[in-house]
Amino acid sequence: MEFIIAYGPHILILACAFGFFMAWGMGANDVANAMGTSVGSGVLTVKQAIIVAMIFEFCGAYLAGGEVTETIRSGIVQSSVVEDTPHLLVYGMLSTLLATGVWLTVASANGWPVSTTHTVIGAIIGFAAVGISIDSVQWSQIGSIVASWVISPVLAGTISYILFRSVQRLILNSPDPFTQAKRYVPVYLFLTGFMVSMVTFMKGLKHVGVPLNGPQSVLAAVITGLIITGFGKILLARVEPNPEQDRRFRFASTERLFAILMVFTACAMAFAHGSNDVANAVGPLAAIYSVIKSEGQVSASTAIPSWILLLGAVGIVAGLAMFGRRVMQTIGKKITELTPSRGFAAELGAASTVVLATGTGLPVSTTHTLVGAILGVGFARGIGALNLRVVRGIFASWFITLPAGAILSIIFFFIFMALF
């Protein structure tokens, strides 16, 4: 206890540095998952994707990142077990931040699209089970989180499959795809705007002082969806069919309409990713802040200040801009061939899954979600459309990530124990 009181400010500075480093690694790796489909389908260049993601990742993290942060901060380690030894929790959360940052940097340098969520939770389980006690881990909470790693790709794949099959049925397989696209793309635009804003208004804005009840959230989401649809229709009206391009590729003009739609879904995916995954970066930092703020009282309830979410948001943006290109290529171009219509279905399916998870406080893996969504789109075209060798490699990286996070966290935990 005396250690926390005496060295609290120094520990907090160290935690902020590690938290920023981890958020930087997340931006370099996980954000590429969010934007890879836009780049792979040719809708956005890498530079444009980085600009879009910088804006909407930041907004998602800052405006809607508080709900999942609570799960990471206090839902995995039992507070009662470390009430008398708060310094162990501080060491462990410092180890979690540093271990995750190191692993994400290694993975990004090699172009591996790994799961930040896997790494963080593996790191927390590692230090808690070995450094504190096996009983300190809330295994009932872990069960639901582990279940989400299976549920999220299956759910995202199912939604994306249904979306792309609807695109095929309503638009691509019709006698006049371009005219049908003009008719139905605004409907998809409304779904995109409504879905993202609904969960955001219901769950995400409480900590910035804008609480809304159920009916108010629905009304605000409908208005937001209509505004986005109206803006999109203005852009769609400017697109005219190009007979020459259509002779070479029947859907050339139609895909240009979907390219406009995909700009909106790319923004939605970036916002959804920021709202969910900022918890991975600032959850352990929020736990350290809580202990220091309450002078060692682990069980004390402390509100997560806005500056912690801001730190995570800035770190994510910095990592994306500086080191985010490599993993983007893996997600966007190597799993299956993406066109704007396919990329739209994958992004909207993944974004829907992520924002629903954010609304319920479940820290799903964006990597799992987006890969599941892309697989769903690929299945809609047949198993031959998938590069199974790349898919197997991605699955292998998922299995490696959790133990890597745990092992690194245990090592850093005992280093901090020796140093302090």
- The secondary structure of residue 133, as a DSSP letter, is -
Rounded to the nearest 10 degrees, the angle between the axes of helix 214-237 and helix 252-293 is 140
Q: Where are the domains of the chain?
A: 2-419
Q: Tens digits of per-residue pLDDT, 53-83?
A: 888 887 877 776 655 555 554 566 666 666 6
Supply the pLDDT for residue 300. 47
Tell me phi and psi for residue 252, to 5 degrees. Answer: -60, -50
User: What share of the chain in percent tops pLDDT 90?
Assistant: 17
Q: How far is CA 130 from CA 17, 145, 243, in A?
A: 25, 20, 66
Average pLDDT of the chain? 80
Supply the pLDDT for residue 44. 84
Q: Tens digits of per-residue pLDDT, 206-225?
A: 555 666 677 887 888 899 89
For residue 13, give every residue at least 6 positions away whose Cβ sits within 8 Å of its Cβ, in sequence order, or none: none
**pLDDT above 70 (res 306):** yes
Whether the Cβ atoms of residue 380 and residue 408 lie closer than 8 Å to each other: no
Question: Stretch 169-194: mean pLDDT, rounded?
Answer: 91
For residue 340, give every residue at least 6 positions away whose Cβ sits within 8 Å of its Cβ, in sequence order, or none: 41, 42, 43, 255, 256, 258, 259, 261, 262
Q: Tens digits of per-residue pLDDT, 248-289?
A: 888 889 989 988 888 888 887 788 777 767 666 677 888 788
Of residues 364, 374, 408, the one with CA closest to residue 30: 364
Q: Tens digits of per-residue pLDDT, 369-405?
A: 888 888 888 887 766 667 777 777 777 777 788 889 9
In single-letter form, the type of residue at position 383 comes to I
Supply the pLDDT for residue 147. 76
Q: Tens digits of per-residue pLDDT, 347-365?
A: 888 878 877 776 676 667 7
- The secondary structure of residue 200, as a DSSP letter, is I
Q: What is the largest CA-CA distance in the chain?
A: 77
Q: Tens digits of per-residue pLDDT, 391-401?
A: 777 777 777 88
Of residues 400, 315, 404, 303, the one with CA closest to residue 96: 404
Q: How far is CA 184 from CA 110, 152, 265, 342, in A?
A: 41, 27, 15, 15
CA atoms within 13 A on the CB side of 197: 20
Q: HEC string of 368-392?
A: HHHHHHHHHHHHHHCHHHECHHHHH
For residue 191, give every residue at least 6 positions away whose Cβ sits within 8 Å of its Cβ, in sequence order, or none: 225, 348
Is 77 strand, coil or helix? strand
Supply the pLDDT for residue 413. 93
What is the rounded CA–CA span in Å between residue 265 and residue 344?
Answer: 6
